[in-house]
Amino acid sequence: MLRSSLCFALALSALPAIATAALPVGAKAPDFATQVSLAGKPMPFSLKAALKKGPVVLYFYPAAFTKGCTIEAHDFAEATDDFKKLGATVIGMSADNIDKLNQFSVSECRNKFAVGSATPATISAYNVTMPKNPAMSDRTSYVIAPNGRVIFAYSAMDPAGHVTGTLDAVKAWAAKRHG
């Protein structure tokens, strides 16, 4: 018994270090409205309104124009058409101001998807506060079904895995719906 417990603990320690996503699968996603930028143009965004069109891929990132966030934005931009074919809306969120996001949406998001300004209340509601800097969010990706429930959650500071994980979750949702 002790040996199997030790083996299990060692196996767990070998897994990559991934922070647990703040909102578990099945949780009700907090509603919010904010300013977003798409193709350099600011506009209002409402989660409630977006969910009426289909699932929402909501990803939080620490700061525009940083290395990891730029990589992640490029990856989401490349996959945006695949998300759209499945009826999903992609939106990135950070604590950056809308002027910075206007630039980021053009240069790094390549005019493919909106990026929004996450208020401290939204960052707190999604419990994605960066431990070392509470004014910023960590890197967490969610897929929220049209019923407002989280169907996928993934937190890791490495941008790898966020796009593939969210796209796989949206594909699974679409397959259940049309299957």
Task: Name the amino acid, one letter, at 71.
Answer: I
Q: How would you class 112 by CB atoms within 10 Å of its CB: exposed for 0-12, middle for 13-18, buried for 19 or more? A: buried
Q: Which of 47, 50, 69, 79 is catalytic?
A: 69
Catalytic residue status for 109: no
SS (H, E, C) the chain: CHHHHHHHHHHHHHCCCCCCCCCCCCCECCCCEEEEEECCEEEEEEHHHHHCCCCEEEEECCCCCCHHHHHHHHHHHHHHHHHHHCCCEEEEEECCCHHHHHHHHHHCCCCCCEEEECCHHHHHHCCCEECCEEEEECCEEEEECCCCEEEEEEECCCCCCHHHHHHHHHHHHHHHHHC
Query: How far is residue 48 from each of residues 26, 33, 45, measured CA to CA in Å?
Result: 17, 8, 9
Q: Just list the catalytic residues.
A: 69
